[in-house]
């Protein structure tokens, strides 16, 4: 087809057109086009080989330096040396000779500063012998700096590295016989970093969900051997991200699978206490299963209007017993760990007020799926939401790491929907999310409220027999919700 200007050039293919490591799904608008990426990478590979050949020539053999083989500045900036494990220590990260090293080092320091979450260090060390993991870290670092500076060139570079990492990961997972191998830890690390990238550079809810589902499909199909070397700090962070995202999507987390719990369980040193996050995750694993069950029941009732079937589901003794068990565990956890008072609280890796905020958020969610007469009153739920928001404000001022920012923005979602429609707490929550987006440079913070509309659930009337009436207008196509008292977050 000839363009209007009369030039009959082939349409150039962008290397950022390959957006999904699930292959070429029907709903993917880019249809898995990777020609541009392949051509660009071939050029870079040849330039890198040229530089390697030049390095082998002794300086004394070069009669004329002006005739020696050289690389363009652009090529030099794109050729990154792998990070060594020795250079990636908690106290020092060597920036190396390239801009990639400087950006990755800066991102690591900002994502998980000393004294808070330590998941990024083992991941960064593993990138020393994994190109796809290195690319994922580089893409995330470029995206972070692009949002900080508004530099479009940096953003395009982030897109390039992101697309390359996704393509390499997809090709790696599609190798013949991959599912029969022992689980590849570096593949999991790459998925986690790409998930972090999606949170920083949130553009499309559909793409975000598609990539989460792609990662989940791999986790479910992987052959989980007993010798997986996953450091506890990394496993805790991965489980935490899995649970928070599962809560938003109303789907059971992938890491609640029994195979995962067995394969990733590492012997604990009795003399070393577990972190408060790890203790809380054991409780939340059960909570996410109940949230999914409530969502399935309420969604079925909304479609079929079979209120009686829904009543039977909610009267099941095991459901109530498990709900009571989770609630008691959460109360016990908060009472045991909630002794961090004041702005000058000392935070350690074992006692972390962030885990208290997470527990409060899940208590709000659990109380919403409980329709029994003795459930927490609306006033008690609003008071708990107000306490959660207050804690988030304090933590936002105290924390500077991106990991905390990601977790905090997901805990604000249940607080927002707990407040009545015209309650000032809703406006305050939106204001806090805007601050989170600006301070931590997280695009998803502007979309966490409406990215997944709340689902209509049993009404809050005191009688279980009459508490399951549903509203067909509870959800709108644009994601807005006009039913406040009947939502699961």
Pure H helices in 56-175: 73-78, 99-111, 120-126, 131-149, 152-173
Q: Using CA atoms, how far apart are residues 273 and 280, in angstroms rounded to an integer?
A: 13
H/E element, 304: helix 276-304
Is the Cβ–Cβ distance between 392 and 399 less than 8 Å?
no
Q: Using CA atoms, how far apart are residues 253 and 117, in angstroms rounded to an integer?
A: 21
Q: Using CA atoms, how far apart are residues 9 and 405, in angstroms rounded to an integer?
A: 46
What are the φ/ψ torsions at residue 93 (nearest 5 degrees)? -130, 120
Q: CA nearest 163: which of 179, 142, 182?
A: 142
pLDDT in tens, the chain (489 residues): 444 455 544 444 443 344 444 444 444 443 444 444 555 566 666 777 777 766 766 554 444 433 333 334 343 333 333 333 333 333 333 434 466 677 777 777 767 655 556 777 788 888 888 889 999 999 988 888 888 888 888 888 888 999 898 888 888 877 765 554 446 778 888 888 887 888 787 777 777 777 667 666 666 666 554 445 677 777 777 777 777 666 666 666 666 555 555 544 544 444 555 666 667 776 776 676 676 666 666 655 555 544 444 455 555 556 667 777 777 777 777 777 766 544 444 445 445 777 888 888 888 887 777 766 777 788 888 998 998 898 888 888 887 777 788 888 878 888 888 898 889 999 999 898 888 888 888 877 777 777 665 544 444 333 333 333 333 333 322 222 222 333 444
Question: 372: how many CB neighbours lie within 10 A of its CB?
Answer: 14
Q: CA nearest 241: which of 453, 364, 409?
A: 409
SS3 463: coil
Q: CA nearest 447: which of 99, 209, 283, 203?
A: 203
How big is the chain by its Cα radius of gyration, in Å?
25
Q: Using CA atoms, how far apart are residues 291 and 296, in angstroms rounded to an integer?
A: 9
What are the φ/ψ torsions at residue 88 (nearest 5 degrees)? -100, 75
Is the Cβ–Cβ distance between 187 and 173 less than 8 Å?
yes
Domain spans in the chain, listed from the N-terminal domain onward: 96-230, 276-488
Contacts of 454 (CB under 8 A, 6+ apart): 417, 475, 481, 487, 488, 489
Strand partners, 487: 456
Q: Using CA atoms, how far apart are residues 433 and 234, in angstroms rounded to an integer?
A: 26
Q: Using CA atoms, how far apart are residues 476 and 453, in angstroms rounded to an integer?
A: 8
Contacts of 481 (CB under 8 A, 6+ apart): 417, 453, 454, 474, 475, 487
Q: Does the pTM of the predicted model rise above 0.75?
A: no
């Amino acid at each position: 087809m000839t363009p209007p200007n009369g030039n009959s050039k082939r349409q150039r293919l962008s290397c950022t057109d390959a957006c999904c490591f699930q292959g070429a799904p029907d709903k993917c608008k880019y249809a898995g086009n990777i020609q541009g990426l392949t051509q660009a990478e071939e050029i870079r590979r040849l330039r890198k080989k040229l530089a390697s050949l030049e390095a082998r020539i002794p300086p004394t053999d070069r009669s004329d330096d002006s005739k020696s083989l050289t690389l363009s500045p652009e090529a030099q900036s794109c050729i990154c040396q792998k990070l060594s494990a020795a250079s990636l220590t908690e106290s020092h990260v060597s920036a190396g000779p390239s801009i990639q090293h400087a950006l990755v080092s800066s991102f690591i320091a900002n994502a998980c500063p000393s004294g808070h979450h330590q998941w990024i260090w083992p991941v960064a060390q593993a990138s020393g012998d994994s190109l796809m993991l290195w690319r994922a870290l580089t893409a995330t670092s470029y995206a972070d700096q692009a949002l900080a500076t508004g530099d479009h060139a940096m953003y395009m570079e982030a897109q390039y590295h992101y697309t390359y990492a996704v393509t390499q990961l997809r090709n790696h997972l599609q190798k013949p016989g991959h599912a029969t191998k022992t689980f590849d830890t570096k593949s999991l690390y790459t998925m986690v970093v790409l998930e972090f990238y999606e949170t920083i550079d949130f553009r499309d809810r559909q793409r975000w969900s598609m990539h989460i589902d792609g990662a989940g499909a791999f986790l479910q199909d992987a052959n989980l051997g007993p010798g997986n070397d996953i450091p506890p700090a990394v496993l805790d962070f991965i489980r935490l991200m899995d649970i928070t995202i599962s809560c938003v999507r109303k789907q059971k987390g992938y890491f609640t699978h029994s195979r995962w719990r067995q394969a990733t369980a590492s012997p604990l040193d009795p003399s070393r206490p577990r972190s408060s996050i790890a203790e809380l995750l054991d409780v939340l694993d059960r909570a996410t299963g109940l949230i999914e069950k409530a969502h399935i029941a309420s969604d079925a009732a909304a479609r079929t209007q079979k209120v009686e079937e829904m009543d039977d589901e909610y009267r099941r003794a095991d459901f109530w017993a498990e709900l009571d068990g989770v609630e008691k565990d959460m109360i016990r956890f908060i009472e045991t760990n909630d002794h961090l008072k004041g702005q000058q609280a000392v935070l350690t890796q074992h006692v972390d007020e962030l885990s208290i905020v997470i527990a409060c958020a899940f208590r709000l969610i659990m109380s919403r799926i409980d329709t029994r007469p003795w459930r927490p009153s609306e006033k008690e739920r609003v008071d708990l939401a107000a306490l959660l928001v207050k804690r988030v404000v304090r933590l936002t001022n105290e924390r500077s790491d991106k990991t905390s920012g990601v977790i905090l923005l997901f805990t604000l979602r249940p607080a927002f929907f707990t407040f009545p429609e015209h309650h000032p707490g809703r406006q305050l929550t939106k204001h806090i999310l805007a601050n989170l987006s600006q301070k931590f440079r997280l695009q998803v913070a502007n979309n966490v409220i409406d990215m997944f509309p709340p689902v209509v659930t049993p009404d809050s009337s005191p009688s279980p027999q009459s508490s399951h009436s549903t509203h067909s207008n509870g959800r709108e196509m644009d994601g807005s919700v006009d039913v406040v008292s009947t939502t699961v977050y």
